[in-house]
Amino acid sequence: MKHKHITIINQYIGSPQHGMEYRHYFLAKNLIKLGYKVTLITGSYSHLFTTPPSVNKDFKEETIDGIDYIWVKLPKYGSSKSIGRIWNMFYFSWKLRSLNMIKPSYILLSSPSLFPVKIANKWAKTFHTKFLFEVRDIWPLTLTEMSGLTPSHPLIKLMEHYEKFAYKNADKVISLLPTAKEHFVKQGMDYEKFVYLPNGIEIEKVKPIPLSPNILEKIPKNKFIIAYAGTVGIANNLEYMIEVASELREYPDIHFIILGQGGEKQKLQDKLKDLSLDNVTFFEPIKKEMVKSFLEEIDVSFISLLPEKLFKFGVSPNKVFDYMYAKKPIIWAIEAGNNLVEESGCGISVPLNNIQKLKDAVLELKSLPKEKRKELGQNGYNFVNTHHNYMMLAKKLIKIIEE
């Protein structure tokens, strides 16, 4: 195994230097510790990057934390929902055709971009290697659910062609969604190919960066604090949190915090002003390394997502693992095919957009002895360390590809 080489192709791989996404960066770091050589092939531009890499040629090779990156030069696009993003997917796939590959032992292609699947499969046959297909978002189903495009639209039909090709030709289909197997089978996957490999958290002993004094002084003292940390978008359903804060305004010792940035932030701040609430504080985004220090200052964490048909296949929200690793009880307001809070016993699940139930959950957690809340937090910590740490996930990936 010391000389095994896995190549991971995902148009949206990031790094700590460039921004999200981090899944394959952390998997790669741990695969290297386990004796693998890892090459990540990704695009030079993503709407998730905070600092895109500088790429002046068609391809740029770079080593980051021991991981070999190959950046494919791509044009910028307007937003995650723009036609430019779809064009970028085509362009990424087209550019891969001229990439001189070094022979890998295994090839893993990760969605949502489906267009490189035939190239990845061709490389696998050329080098007599395994071809693994990883599904992070189920495309084109996600696109039809969220864009209004019909199943008969030419773009959807084209994507479905590539999707079915991937399910049929991949040696294994790795899913981040635990209950998606039946859908994959309907699209042509052999039943035994399915493997569940969720998102995770890096548990390497890195000292968290402490919060700056100006952030610390904004956190209310001697209050019971419920906090959300993450993207402030429509899907995150934070209006639900504001409405419950309004219901709990007669409890001066309860306070809510929303940490993050996104398209809905101003709207929520305006709603706060309209309701004349002083029990909610908004915080600007902080460095990822500071999040654990922030969570240490709160009592309960919160997550909610607007309902989507796709959630029947399960969800794997990264922020939940951050909450668990910080040993914080969680209020979970998501209707999905799985429930990480129930599985781990680390908090309370409430029906979506039921203000009274969420209010009751906040008051119930507040009334618990501090030791009982610590016990809930510890349950989450034990769960994320056992089932969702990236070293464990890397070992599981090795087992999948070595079978």
| Same domain (yes/no): 193, 256 | no
| Same domain (yes/no): 133, 243 | no
Residue type, 359: K
Tokens of 26: 């952390």
More confident residue, 136 or 379: 379
In a domain, 294, yes or no: yes
| pLDDT at res. 1 | 45
In a domain, 206, yes or no: no
| pLDDT at res. 206 | 60
| Same domain (yes/no): 183, 316 | no
d(CA 287, CA 294): 10
In a domain, 207, yes or no: no
Average pLDDT, integer, range 221-233: 93
pLDDT tens digits, residue range 187-213?
A: 999 999 999 999 988 876 667 788 989
More confident residue, 246 or 310: 246
Sheet holding 254-259, edge to edge: 280-283, 254-259, 224-229, 300-304, 330-333, 347-349
| Same domain (yes/no): 284, 223 | yes
Judged on CB neighbours under 10 Å (0-12, 13-18, 19+), 329 is buried
In a domain, 328, yes or no: yes
Q: Which domain holds residue 24?
A: 5-200+389-402
Residue type, 293: S
| Same domain (yes/no): 191, 243 | no
d(CA 328, CA 228): 12
Q: Which of 74-78, 241-245, 249-253, 293-297 has the lowest mean pLDDT?
A: 74-78
| Same domain (yes/no): 379, 397 | no
In a domain, 208, yes or no: no
| pLDDT at res. 28 | 96
In a domain, 66, yes or no: yes
* CATH code, domain carrying 271: 3.40.50.2000
Average pLDDT, integer, range 58-65: 94
* The total number of structural domains that make up the chain: 2
pLDDT tens digits, residue range 305-341?
A: 988 888 889 888 889 999 999 999 999 999 999 999 9
| Same domain (yes/no): 40, 188 | yes
| pLDDT at res. 20 | 82
| Same domain (yes/no): 35, 97 | yes
Q: What is 48-62 written as a DSSP string?
A: TBSS-----SSEEEE
| pLDDT at res. 82 | 76
Average pLDDT, integer, range 103-127: 94
Rounded to the nearest 5 percent, the helix, strand and coil shares of the chain are: 40, 20, 40
| Same domain (yes/no): 22, 57 | yes
How many CA atoms lie within 13 Å of 115's alpha carbon, on the beta-carbon side?
Answer: 17
| Same domain (yes/no): 67, 189 | yes
Report the chain's mean pLDDT, rounded to a whole number.
92
Percentage of the chain with pLDDT > 70? 99
In a domain, 376, yes or no: yes
In a domain, 205, yes or no: no
| Same domain (yes/no): 114, 172 | yes
| Same domain (yes/no): 195, 231 | no
